Amino acid sequence: MGKKYKKAINTYVRTLYSEDSYLMISFYNTNLLFRFARNIGKNNFGRNQYDADKASTSVNYEGASLLYQVTMPIFNDINVEKEKKVSISCNNATLIFVYVRDQNNQMVAYLTINKNDQSITFKFPTHTCQVEENGQMITKVIQSGLGVFAKTIDGYLAGVGADRHLEKLPDDSENSQDENQQASYPTGNNGGYQQGFNSMGNNQQGYQQGSNTGYQQGNYNSFSRH
């Protein structure tokens, strides 16, 4: 295991919002950090409020690559009707990605963190659009939130926008994969996992576009320092 930094370096990338929670994504040393928080209702001004009891964990390159390989084909409209489930075991948490049919027979995706006896689930927002197929207009579900997630991981693996983050790291950053080393990547079908999520509903409203601060276009070869 690589040695740990004396000081954790975190650079915010973006936040995704759903009806029930948010998912914040950051560069964390040389890892990719995910922070989850539940939506606890609206304040007097009608703005969403989130639980102060958040849960977070990070994945290294291999864990991020696994999430990329699972989500990117869906974003690219490949095997969009096939259910998927993957579990990533970190040293202090478990991330579970599932892509299943909901009670309306529509494909939906979830990312859940299990940590310290608590579980928080983020449901990736979807949108609908009218698409012409065989001369007829049909309604198609677009995995908009999952697309943003997949492209964000793609940027991390390619080091997009990493220059500002890397400038904060100590010179020995190449030798460290700091917080979480993945132990196992079991995969398979949903195996009854769908029922536990259907109670969340299928309301697609409430998606808010997150900030893109600090995540500018570039190519920095997987976080390598020059």
Question: Looking at the predicted structure, is the pLDDT value of residue 42 above 60?
Answer: yes
Question: Looking at the predicted structure, is the pLDDT value of residue 73 above 50?
Answer: yes
Question: Looking at the predicted structure, is the pLDDT value of residue 47 above 60?
Answer: yes
141: number of CA atoms within 13 Å, CB side? 20
Q: Could you read off the pLDDT of 171-196 as tens digits, one per residue?
A: 554 444 444 444 333 334 333 333 33
Phi, psi of 155 (to 5 degrees): -65, -40
Higher pLDDT, 150 or 185: 150
pLDDT-above-70 percentage for the chain = 69
pLDDT confidence tier of residue 146, bands split at 50, 70 and 90: very high
C-alpha 147/C-alpha 134 separation (Å) is 26
pLDDT confidence tier of residue 164, bands split at 50, 70 and 90: low
Please give the average per-residue pLDDT across 135-146, as a whole number.
91
Residue-range domains of the chain with CATH:
10-198 (2.30.31)
C-alpha 98/C-alpha 55 separation (Å) is 19
Per-residue pLDDT, 162: 66
Q: Taking the model in full, what pTM does it have? A: 0.71
Please give the average per-residue pLDDT across 11-24, as a whole number.
94
Question: Looking at the predicted structure, is the pLDDT value of residue 123 above 80?
Answer: yes
Question: Looking at the predicted structure, is the pLDDT value of residue 67 above 80?
Answer: yes
C-alpha 160/C-alpha 155 separation (Å) is 5
Per-residue pLDDT, 95: 97
Per-residue pLDDT, 221: 37
pLDDT confidence tier of residue 8, bands split at 50, 70 and 90: confident
Secondary structure of the chain as H, E, C letters? CCCCCCCCCEEEEEEEECCCEEEEEEEECCEEEEEEEEEEEECCCCCEEECCCCEEEEECHHHHHHHHHHHHHHHCCCCCCCCEEEEEECCCCEEEEEEEECCCCCEEEEEEEEECCEEEEEECCCEEEEEEECCEEEEEEECHHHHHHHHHHHHHHHCCCHHHHHCCCCCCHHHCCCCCCCCCCCEECCCCCCHHHHCCCCCCCCCCCCCCCCCCCCCCCCCCCC
Total residues belonging to the chain: 226
Please give the average per-residue pLDDT across 87-112, as a whole number.
93
Using a 10 angstrom Cβ sphere, with 0-12 exposed, 13-18 middle and 19 or more buried, the burial of residue 183 is exposed
Question: Looking at the predicted structure, is the pLDDT value of residue 131 above 90?
Answer: no
